[in-house]
Each structure stands twice: as structure tokens, then as C-alpha cells.
Amino acid sequence: MQPSIYVGLSSQLALERRMETLARNVANMNTTGYRAEEIKFSTFLSKKGTDAVNFATEGESFISRTQGGIEKTGNPLDVAVEGDGWFSLNTPAGRVFTRDGRFSMSAQGQLLSVAGHAVLDAGGAPMQLDPEGGPPVIARDGMIWQGNQQVGAIGLFSVDPGAKLQRYDNSGVIPDRAPTPILDFVSNGVRQGHIEGSNVNPIREMSKLIMVTRTFESAANAIEKGEKAVEGAIRTLGETS
């Protein structure tokens, strides 16, 4: 088989994976705190006979950390992150980090995520509020007050830029390096009564999806032409042999 056919097939595999990530991003463009999934593509060199041929790999996926838009809700238990920080949750999979700050308070006063997981403070302990203490007031550094009483501080954590992120549910991630508590609240902080939306740009993602679809079709046409060329060569050589 001609190397061009193999190259075409490798590009189709890569494009198919890219279409899957784009479709997932578009499906979650309204998911609070969702981080878009991107792919780094590369090629690898293979020497067949005297010719060096470059094939496309399927690519390495990564989660974009670009901040999404912040929306005002007015709910005192909605909290948006400003900067590079992440909230920490205690889940069945261990500690998970998220930008989804749609919190609630249980009847016992425990601060919970939208999925019912305990929200942790900077020391990794579950946040406990006073269920009879009234609406909380949350400062930029995550400190929570109810009336004149300080009841705790929501933990805000920094994830190493080089860490690989594994997705947990839609808006959570599990890094392969331990995050550290944020102590600088000048460039980082939280905003009460707001939530952060998805960082997916729907127009851009739809444009990419159309472009990738057309490129996939072009690769399919190239493979078909290559197969016809091989078939023609076989027929010609067969008739003259």
C-alpha cells in the first residue's frame, strides 16, 4: 500500500479524536466551571525503504485553564474564582479541584458542592457553617462571616502549570501534582454572589468543528484516490506481465 494512504488514515484518526473533543466542548458550553479540552498534535517519522514518511499521531489531550466569564447570580453561596485558583472538594475519588462555585449548605451546616461533595478549607478540612447563623458574607480571601462571627475560610489552591489534569465529572479535575494553598489574594481571590461559566467559545468551537469535518472529508478523498491509483497500477501491471 502507498505511504500516502497510511498517512491519510493516520490523519483521519487524529481528526476523529479532535472532532470528539470539539463536540464535547460544544455540549458543555453552558456548564458552570467547565474547562475546554484541547489536543496537541505532532508527527512521527517512519522510514519505509528509501523514503522518510511523516505520519500524524492521535495527539495528546489537555485541559485549557483559560478563565471563563463571570456571571452575577446574587446567591450568597455562589462563589466565583478570580485568578488561577481552584476550590477543593472531598469526593469518592479523593480530593478533586474545581472552578464550579455553586455551593449550598446542608441542614447540619456543611458547605457542599452542587454534586453534594464537601468543600474544603486551606488545611483540607470540610467547611462547617452555622445553619442558624444567617446568610454568610464571603470576603475576597475566602473568609466566611455569619453575623459578627468568623466561621472559616474556603480553601483556594494553586495547581502547578506543568501538572497534567484528569477530568472528574464535567467541571472537576485531578492533577498529577499536589496543589498548594494560595496565600496571595492580590491577583487571586473569590467573588461572592457570582459564578464562573464555561471557558468554551461556542462560535470558535463550531468553526473548528466545521473545519475539521471538511479536512476529514478531504483526507477521505485523498485515500480514495490513492486506492484507485494502486488498483490502476495493479491492473496495468497485470495486463503486461
Residue 111's pLDDT band (boundaries 50, 70, 90)? Answer: very high
Q: What is the mean pLDDT of residues 89-103?
A: 97
Whether pLDDT at 3 is above 60: no
11-15, 77-81, 230-234: least confidently modelled range:
230-234
Quick one: what percent of the chain has pLDDT higher than 90? 60
Quick check: 239 pLDDT over 70? no
- Helix or strand (DSSP H, E) at 4: helix 3-27
Q: Is the pLDDT of residue 64 over 80?
A: yes
Instruction: Convert the pLDDT of each residue in 169-228 to its tens digit.
Output: 989 999 999 999 999 899 999 999 999 999 999 998 988 888 888 877 776 676 666 666
pLDDT at residue 44 above 50? Answer: no
DSSP type of residue 127: P
* pLDDT band, residue 70 (cuts 50/70/90): very high
Is the CB of residue 18 less than 8 Å from the CB of residue 64?
A: no
Task: List the beta bridge partners of residue 1.
Answer: none
Identify the CA nearest to 206 among candidates 32, 36, 49: 36
Question: 112-131: per-residue pLDDT in tens?
Answer: 999 999 999 999 999 999 99
